[in-house]
Amino acid sequence: MNARGFILVSAAAAVAFAGVGGGGYFWSLAHERHWSGHPSLSLVTCNHCHLGNTDKLPWAKPHPKHASPAALAVSADGKRLYIALDELDEVVEADTASAQVLRRAKVPGGPFGLALDDAGERLYVACRQQDRVAVVDTRELKELASVDVGMAPVALALAKSPDGERLIVANSGSDDASVLSLSPLKEIVRPATGREPYALSVSDDGKLAFIVSRLAEREKPRTSGDTSGFPFIVPQTADPYHVMTPPASELTVLFTRSGRVFKRAPLDSAHLSESIASVPARGWMLAPLVKVRNLVPITQVANGWVMSAGFAISDLMGRVIQLPLDEANDYFADPSGIAVDAAGQRAYVASGGSDVISVVDLGRVAAWLVQADAATRQSAIEDLALSSQYVIARVPTGRNPRHVVLSPDGRKLFVSVRLEDKVLVLDTATLKPAGEIALDDGGGSDPIRRGERVFTKAAHTFQRQFSCRSCHPDAHVDGLAYDFDGDGIGDNLLDNRSLQGLAGTAPFKWNGKNLTLQIQCGPRFARVLMRTDAIPPDDLNDLVTYLMAQPPPRTIPFKRLGRPLTPSEDRGRKLFFATQRPEGTPIPRARQCQTCHRPPLFTNRLPSAVGTQGPRDSTDEFDTPHLLGIAASAPYLHDGRARTLEELWTTYQTNDLHGVSSYWSKHQLNDLIAYLKTL
């Protein structure tokens, strides 16, 4: 039923109810029981099941777009700075001496990543929303060519070696990298990377590309004989305790010429690496990271035990050491961009949550490494006293610094101050501002923009340890389960929930106990997570406005948007809406997917029991999750026990409680999953 149809029907129904008086109440109850399959319902409104369509939801409406700077690129002569403005579909050229914008070019598709060739003639642009790389001619500042790559490309780098030239692209949406030849501009191969590859850098000789990923996999890639980690890991069984495995994200090392993977190095208990820089003078790659201890109870925030910022040093063989950026009582959350000068003297790391650039003296880091024994190096990331030996300054920026780049002579650092629409120019000798490139007014009049500032700000947590973004990058998931209420290790692990596509899905949390976002993000957050004062009411309202404006993630390739379902997806759709088995046995209403996951949001917003109670759960009823963009939020179920959608109906299906699946063949399961991936 569409919205108008429903209004008519409900108007008719209302008149009818008025006529029969109390009879209407009983009609409603019977009706709701019938269609939900629930014997008892409380607090159910008609639009739990009759939303009509999603057009009226805040995320479906147009909202203001800002000149939020993403990637930066400087020309080899240091005269020009290119700035990607993904929200405006523009690439801007600025003059570095005068800090003035010179020209703007339209580049459709959310330009986010940039790479400039040595001659400064071709600018390669990763267009995140349209799954393509655009080639911009810098003389005309005009798009010349375009090539399709994997989903949601966010970063790219040129590799020049005696073997030829390559362009390597990190596709954050399809978990792979596109390896392209330049003439002709063509994709050669698309090797798999870690989950959500987000940045890359090429070795000085052009032969290897190092790619870091934002999200961790729970099982780290293990070499035989590796017995580290928790003792009770039981992968590939129905035992939900495999969620107790500490996470690891992947540093993927590729041969640029062939695209073959040389190494997959784990970054243990670390994730959210958003940048990587080559340090040829030392034979290193440097990547910021968030050290995460999601398995300890969140009450440990008070002891600084949940999250801290650091960076990884990898040698060219992919051997990694992690070092801290934080201090024992002062944290610099959400390390994002990193830049290193040509001589390998200093690294500059932007902390998106704390609005500072940490300046790292790499000579001191090297000196420390030389004298530390292997065991000390391995545990260095835990020692927050260490950073004082090599972090030589913390320089304030504006709100949410993300991408950074140095001028070729190393004298100027350019910083994308994302939520203030400007690029800050720092003089690296004095570490003082040397100007700024204003792109717009900062967007302070837009509540969504103000809400994003609250969302990304670490100032709301104890000692500024983390922000909302530390667990919900891009308001999405980080793929981990956290222990919010328990006292012991792993007492009450709850899988992170995406905040994209949240509007209209109340109540919130896996237990469905929070009726509004104000409650979820206000008092609860203050009590459980921040260990400090609650977010002030005005900020909280902006925060909620921001959350409601986040659309569900896109999980199908740009070129396929608006196209009909494939035959397999369509067979899957029929299974999803099936009311009987092929031979005619009816599927009880309460066990049909569509009853609980009712379109258009694919939830009826009611609690249900589907046989997923774990040994530590106090109930078998959980909030029915919406399924928009579900392909992008693995792992699944309230404790994250299902690593893939398939596992929901293989490893973790019990007695046809979660939909009736026992009659499906393997192919039918594949069809159903193919359909779910289109939602």
By CB under 6 A, name the binding residues for ligand HEC.
Answer: 1, 9-10, 13, 28, 31-32, 35-36, 44, 46, 48-50, 466, 468, 470-472, 482, 484, 494, 496-497, 499, 502, 505, 508-510, 517, 520-521, 525, 529, 543, 576, 590-593, 595-597, 604, 608, 610, 612, 622, 624-625, 627, 630, 633, 636-638, 645, 648, 658-659, 661, 672, 676
Q: How far is the CB of 178 from ligand HEC (least distance, A)?
A: 29
Residues ≥6 apart with Cβ < 8 Å to 596 = 603, 604, 606, 608, 610, 624
Nearer Cβ to ligand HEC (13/147): 13
Nearer Cβ to ligand HEC (69/247): 247
Nearer Cβ to ligand HEC (450/597): 597
Nearer Cβ to ligand HEC (330/646): 646
Nearer Cβ to ligand HEC (203/612): 612
Q: How far is the CB of 488 from ligand HEC (least distance, A)?
A: 17
| Of residues 419, 427, 477, 476, the one with CA closest to residue 448 | 419
Q: How far is the CB of 128 from ligand HEC (least distance, A)?
A: 23
First to last CA, the chain: 19
Nearer Cβ to ligand HEC (187/617): 617
Q: How far is the CB of 613 from ligand HEC (least distance, A)?
A: 8
Q: How far is the CB of 470 from ligand HEC (least distance, A)?
A: 5
Q: How far is the CB of 435 from ligand HEC (least distance, A)?
A: 33
Q: How far is the CB of 527 from ligand HEC (least distance, A)?
A: 12
**Does 507 sit behind a cis peptide bond, omega within 30 degrees of 0 on the bond before it?**
yes
In angstroms, rounded to a whole number, what is the distance separating the alpha carbons of residues 38 and 36?
Answer: 5
Token pair in block for residue 474: 């891009």
Distances in Å between the alpha carbon of 393 and those of 274, 308, 388, 396? 21, 18, 9, 10
Nearer Cβ to ligand HEC (20/392): 20
Distinct helix (H) and strand (E) counts, the chain: 12, 33
Q: Are strands 432-438 and 422-427 parallel, antiparallel or unpaired?
A: antiparallel
In angstroms, rounded to a whole number, what is the distance separating the alpha carbons of residues 250 and 266?
Answer: 5
In angstroms, rounded to a whole number, what is the distance separating the alpha carbons of residues 439 and 666?
Answer: 53
In angstroms, rounded to a whole number, what is the distance separating the alpha carbons of residues 550 and 531?
Answer: 27
Nearer Cβ to ligand HEC (126/458): 458
DSSP 321-333: EEEE-SBTTB---
In angstroms, rounded to a whole number, what is the distance separating the alpha carbons of residues 203 and 183?
Answer: 21
Sheet with 422-427: list strands edge to edge: 401-406, 412-417, 422-427, 432-438
| Of residues 639, 607, 297, 599, the one with CA closest to residue 497 | 639
Nearer Cβ to ligand HEC (197/512): 512
In angstroms, rounded to a whole number, what is the distance separating the alpha carbons of residues 209 and 445?
Answer: 42
Nearer Cβ to ligand HEC (443/607): 607
| Burial class, 561, CB count within 10 angstroms (exposed 0-12 / middle 13-18 / buried 19+) | exposed
Q: How far is the CB of 357 from ligand HEC (least distance, A)?
A: 23
Q: How far is the CB of 54 from ligand HEC (least distance, A)?
A: 15
The answer to whether 409 and 78 have CB atoms below 8 angstroms apart is yes
Q: How far is the CB of 133 from ligand HEC (least distance, A)?
A: 32
DSSP 638-655: TT--BSSHHHHHTTT--T
What sections of 225-371 are H helices per DSSP? 362-371
User: In sequence order, what are the beta bridge partners of 159?
Assistant: 166
Nearer Cβ to ligand HEC (35/262): 35
The answer to whether 535 and 522 have CB atoms below 8 angstroms apart is yes
Q: How far is the CB of 23 from ligand HEC (least distance, A)?
A: 13
Q: Closest-CB residue for ligand HEC?
A: 659
Nearer Cβ to ligand HEC (106/513): 513
Q: Is 319 left (phi over 0), alpha (psi -120 to 50) or beta?
A: beta
Q: How far is the CB of 270 from ligand HEC (least distance, A)?
A: 15
